[in-house]
Structure 1
Amino acid sequence: MNTPGNIFLIGPMGAGKTTIGRQLARALHRRFVDSDRVIEERTGVDIPLIFELEGEAGFRRRERKVIDELTQQPDIVLATGGGAILDPDNRRHLMTRGTVVYLHTTIDQQLSRTGRDQKRPLLQTDDPRARLSELMAVREPLYREIADLVIETDGRCIKDVVREISRRLRDGPQPASAP
């Protein structure tokens, strides 16, 4: 398949950005990059510790720099952190430097996929469902605002999601259906 440019995966935690991104990069013969992993590699510590030491604002500053740099690299599949779209510069870089794919998932699916994960600082709360709902209320409009494609991931195997993304990238934009 010969899809030009970068592919940027956005969506909430638990949507499958990293897992799907790895497989998509393989299918498209691209390099896969995960912005959160790059931040961890550069700092030598994991994201929960960055949140603990620098707060969310400190993490977001690091994330902004990494997103700017990574989105300028050629022919990559990039998995972003769930909150990367909160920053206007990140949204602009993602929209103007590649194709943005929003991996949509429900709160139930997010809980199922992240329930036992202790490495998600924003979920270290007494009510993870309420926290995920709060995050989605703020982030959902931003995901949709910059997405070129919206792909549902709930209850689907990775291979099917990768096939759908690949097909839709290859086929290009589809005309809106008549009512």
Structure 2
Amino acid sequence: MSACVYKECTDETVHSTILKDAEQMLESIDLLENSKFVVIEPKDTDIDYVVDSVCQLLKVEEEEVGDYYESGKALDRLQVLLDDKLFRLDDLVYLEKLGLLFGSLIRYYYQEFSWAVISDEYGRELVLRFRGHEAVSFPISMIRKRLEEGEHINVAELMTDHYDSVLTNIGQ
């Protein structure tokens, strides 16, 4: 990394701004280098939790879930749940379940995704892995953060945009 300032520039504000920017870049690099997480296969209990969460939100039995995906009712149900906003933003368990349903829909429509778990010093989180790549996406956070920001979420559009973004990021 290098920074240049013209010799004629005597403005101390410019100098301190450049110095602060450089320090922040170095801190960011250190954080990235020190962040260690492991992508692992989910346990059976993780998958059971996803299935249970999806069944609760769809209000169906496990045997009916496939029909709900195939008919488009699962996508419609998630859209209604998000549009009606019958949840509290501090109900993190419910928001997690919305994210798990979203992730399950991604898996259904784009079968190159599989569930995985990220494990780091902060805990474990269910994520989606694309074709075994180390690159993962966070469907729970994708939903939760948008809701916290007050965004309207178009589920079908978000899934398509996400898929296109993943393909772009892995160079396909």
TM range (shorter): under 0.3
Relative contact order (alpha carbons < 8 A, sep ≥ 6): 1 or 2 greater? 1
Output the TM-score relative to the length of structure 2: 0.27
Structure showing greater radius of gyration is 2
